[in-house]
């Protein structure tokens, strides 16, 4: 988009984006209401969540679950729904359920580095 | 050449030889695309003709082709134009210089295939430049000029060129068709500033543009339209030097010392001019302003042209439903222009010719006699009147 806070005289014509790019550069995780949390100690790394995530927001390295990309996760909850591994007490929520659980998003935690 | 108005438009398209034409036939435009697709089939043009399933798809394909850097044209009418509605805005907002022939026709319902201006007037706020043509010759000339206007680097805006459905669209007239080479030289080659196919400079068309930039881009767009009038006049003069027929914002007739004036678009200007000529012989100081450019609206130029006139009648071939007393769109613009300039002329509106109803000379005579009365009394009895309506 060129210059930050461009005036109408400075903005690119018709809002064209004149440099190459992809959606990885756009922070699209800002409107999430629920966030998924993950219990690494009990994860089997089956990667079902990675398969089902519609936004490539689950980062996998060397065949192992690494982290959520909260800059792009929209909080749809599909990963939590599809996660097949049950836990007695989740590391973060303390609740019984699955390895991935949805919790309320806190404004100050919108994006986690 | 003896040509129907629609064929005159198709001839212009043949000579322009656009890269892409995507169109869907709809009466009374069908003759344009049918003739043009014959040129494609006969190899007379290099155009990629995209047969689509609707006008919505036609304009979408035109937008894609124009974003890819092509010189793109299409044609439509009436409900077909209405079906393009959202795409019209996208073409203008992406600043794609598409040229479209519109053979004006009434909108349903009730179903009607004959001439009025409801279709293009419905599209008047989409950000397209609008030129209206009185004859097949003007439809031809305007189409060629439209390409130059649209592609002007200050504008990069789509242009629609109107002519009256059936009245000129299907009527055979003598049309002077210029030499192919002369037209090609006049329009020149088109080098798009931005193109999706320029792989060395990858760009994104139509990205998200929320509260943070949309407003700025709309302001840019209205600024581009504000520069259009000069370009239209310049191209019209250059066209005159090359082809002998000069075009401006409007075509004044007997306006020099006129005290009364009639404003009208397209083919009815011919009828009105004949009546004005006869009334002039009888000593009535009446003139005619045939408006060629409706978008952008030439407010300042009209105010200047009408400054010595006492009373003005605006003829509208469509209704702006729900507007002040159900007036027509041209009238409303003229009123706004005069009011904003603090002008004191009396203005009166006549709705005429809806759905192809004939416009007879006696209707224009009635307008003239009303105008005389308004000028004498300084009073407008009825703001919005109807010509040829059974009352």
Give residue-wise pLDDT tens across range B175-195: 999 999 999 999 999 999 999
Mean per-residue pLDDT, B126-134 = 98
- SS3 assignment, position B133: coil
User: Are B205 and A14 within 8 A, CB to CB?
Assistant: yes
Angle B181-B100-B122 from CA coordinates, rounded to 5°: 155
Helix locations, B282-390, DSSP H: 299-305, 329-340, 361-377
Q: State how far the Cα of B114 lies from the Cα of B129, in Å rounded to an integer.
A: 23
- Of the CA atoms within 13 Å of residue B292, those in its CB half-sphere come to 22
- Structure-block tokens of residue B136: 């097949």
Omega before residue B296 within 30° of 0, cis = yes
Q: State how far the Cα of B243 lies from the Cα of B138, in Å rounded to an integer.
A: 12
Distances B247 to A29, B138, B198, B242, B312 between C-alpha atoms, Å? 55, 9, 36, 12, 23
Beta strands in A19-83 (DSSP E): 34-38, 58-61, 64-68
User: Among candidates B43, B34, B13, B10, which has minimal Cα distance to B183?
Assistant: B13
Q: State how far the Cα of B314 lies from the Cα of B330, in Å rounded to an integer.
A: 7
Q: Estimate the share of chain A in helix, then strand, then coil, as percent rounded to the nearest 5.
A: 20, 20, 60
Strands B346-352 and B311-316, bridge-based pairing? parallel
User: Are A11 and B156 within 8 A, CB to CB?
Assistant: no
Q: For the CA atoms of chain B, what is the radius of gyration?
A: 21
User: Are A15 and B95 within 8 A, CB to CB?
Assistant: no
Please give the pLDDT value at position A1. 47
Mean pLDDT of chain B: 97
For B155, list phi and psi in degrees, rounded to 5: -105, -65
- Structure-block tokens of residue B336: 């706004």
Per-residue pLDDT of chain A (113 residues; tens, 9 = 90+): 457 889 999 999 999 999 887 777 878 888 899 999 999 999 999 999 999 999 899 999 999 999 999 999 999 999 999 999 999 999 999 999 999 999 998 754 544 44
In the predicted structure, residue B280 carries a pLDDT above the cut 70 = yes
- SS3 assignment, position A73: coil
Residue B203 has its nearest CB partner, among A8, A18, A26, at A18
Residues from chain B that touch A15, judged by Cβ atoms under 8 A, are 206-207, 209, 213-214, 217
Please give the pLDDT value at position A113. 42
A107 close to B (CB below 8 A): no
Q: State how far the Cα of B368 lies from the Cα of B271, in Å rounded to an integer.
A: 13
User: Are A7 and B202 within 8 A, CB to CB?
Assistant: no
Mean per-residue pLDDT, B362-368 = 98
- Structure-block tokens of residue B228: 């259009």
Q: How far is CA B194 from the centre of its chain?
A: 27
Please give the pLDDT value at position B62. 98
- SS3 assignment, position B289: strand
Interface test with A, best of B67, B158, B206, B217 (most A CBs within 10 A): B217
A14 close to B (CB below 8 A): yes
Residue A16 has its nearest CB partner, among B204, B208, B219, at B204
In the predicted structure, residue B295 carries a pLDDT above the cut 60 = yes
Mean per-residue pLDDT, B69-86 = 98
Residues from chain B that touch A14, judged by Cβ atoms under 8 A, are 93-95, 205, 217, 220
Nearest-neighbour CA in chain B from A20: distance (Å): 5
Q: How confident is the model at residue B391 (pLDDT cuts 50, 70, 90)?
A: very high
For B123, list phi and psi in degrees, rounded to 5: -100, 15
Mean per-residue pLDDT, B170-175 = 97
CA B206, B210, B212, B214 dihedral sign is: positive
Please give the pLDDT value at position B264. 98
DSSP state of B204: B
Interface test with A, best of B67, B207, B214, B224 (most A CBs within 10 A): B207
Q: State how far the Cα of B41 lies from the Cα of A29, in Å rounded to an integer.
A: 52
Q: State how far the Cα of A81 lies from the Cα of B234, in Å rounded to an integer.
A: 65
Q: Which residue of B has its CA nearest to A20?
A: B202
Q: State how far the Cα of A110 lies from the Cα of A107, in Å rounded to an integer.
A: 5
For B122, list phi and psi in degrees, rounded to 5: -65, -25
A51 close to B (CB below 8 A): no
Q: State how far the Cα of B32 lies from the Cα of B356, in Å rounded to an integer.
A: 19
Mean per-residue pLDDT, B207-214 = 90
Please give the pLDDT value at position A2. 58
Residues from chain A that touch B220, judged by Cβ atoms under 8 A, are 8-9, 11, 13-14
User: Are A13 and B219 within 8 A, CB to CB?
Assistant: no
User: Are A13 and B220 within 8 A, CB to CB?
Assistant: yes
Q: Determine contact, residues B229/B297, Cβ cutoff 8 Å.
A: no
Distances A42 to A18, A75, A99, B54 between C-alpha atoms, Å? 46, 21, 7, 56
Strands B72-76 and B48-51, bridge-based pairing? unpaired
Give the model confidence (pLDDT) of B145-157 as tens digits.
Answer: 999 999 999 999 9
Residues from chain A that touch B94, judged by Cβ atoms under 8 A, are 14
Q: State how far the Cα of B23 lies from the Cα of B40, in Å rounded to an integer.
A: 13
DSSP state of B5: H
In the predicted structure, residue B288 carries a pLDDT above the cut 80 = yes
Residue B217 has its nearest CB partner, among A14, A18, A19, at A14
């Amino acid at each position: 988009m060129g210059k930050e806070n461009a005036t109408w005289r400075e903005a690119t014509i018709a809002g064209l984006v004149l440099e190459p790019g992809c959606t990885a550069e756009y922070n699209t995780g800002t409107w999430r209401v629920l966030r998924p949390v993950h219990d690494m100690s009990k994860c089997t790394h089956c990667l079902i969540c990675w398969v089902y995530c519609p936004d490539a927001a689950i980062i996998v390295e060397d065949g192992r679950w690494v982290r959520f990309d909260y800059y792009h996760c929209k909080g749809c909850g599909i990963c939590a729904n599809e996660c097949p591994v049950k836990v007695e007490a989740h590391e973060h929520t303390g609740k019984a359920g699955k390895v991935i659980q949805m919790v309320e998003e806190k404004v100050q935690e919108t994006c986690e580095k | 050449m003896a040509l129907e108005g629609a064929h005159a438009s198709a001839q212009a398209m043949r000579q322009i030889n656009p890269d892409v034409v995507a169109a869907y036939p709809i009466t009374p435009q069908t003759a344009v695309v049918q003739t043009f697709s014959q040129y494609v089939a006969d190899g007379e043009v290099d155009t990629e003709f995209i047969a689509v399933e609707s006008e919505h798809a036609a304009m979408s394909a035109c937008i894609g082709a124009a974003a890819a850097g092509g010189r793109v044209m299409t044609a439509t009418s009436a409900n077909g134009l209405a079906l393009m509605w959202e795409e019209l805005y996208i073409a203008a907002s992406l600043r794609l210089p598409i040229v479209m022939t519109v053979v004006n026709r009434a909108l349903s319902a009730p179903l009607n295939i004959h001439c009025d201006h409801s279709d293009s007037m419905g599209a008047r706020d989409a950000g397209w430049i609008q030129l209206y043509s009185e004859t097949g010759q003007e439809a031809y000339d305007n189409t060629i000029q439209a390409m130059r206007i649209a592609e002007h680097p200050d504008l990069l805006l789509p242009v629609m060129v109107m002519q009256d459905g059936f009245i000129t669209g299907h009527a055979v007239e003598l049309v002077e068709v210029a030499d192919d080479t002369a037209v090609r030289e006049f329009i020149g080659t088109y080098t798009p500033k931005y193109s999706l196919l320029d792989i060395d400079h990858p760009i994104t068309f139509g990205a998200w543009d929320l509260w943070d930039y949309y407003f700025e881009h709309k302001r840019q767009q209205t600024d581009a339209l504000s520069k259009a009038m000069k370009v239209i006049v310049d191209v019209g003069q250059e066209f005159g030097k090359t082809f002998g027929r000069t075009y401006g914002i409007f075509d004044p007739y007997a306006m020099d010392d006129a005290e009364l004036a009639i404003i009208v678009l397209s083919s009815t200007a011919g009828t009105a001019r004949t009546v004005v000529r006869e009334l002039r012989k009888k000593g009535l100081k009446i003139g005619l302003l045939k408006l060629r450019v409706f978008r952008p609206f030439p407010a300042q130029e009209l105010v200047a042209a009408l400054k010595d006139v006492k009373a003005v009648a605006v003829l509208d071939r469509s209704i702006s439903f729900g507007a002040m007393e159900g007036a027509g769109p041209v009238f409303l613009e003229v009123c706004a222009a005069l009011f904003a300039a603090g002008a004191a002329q009396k203005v009166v509106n006549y709705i005429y010719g809806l759905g192809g109803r004939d416009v007879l000379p006696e209707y224009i005579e009635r307008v003239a006699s009303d105008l005389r009365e308004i000028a004498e009394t300084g009073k407008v009895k009825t703001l919005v009147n109807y010509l040829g309506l059974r009352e």
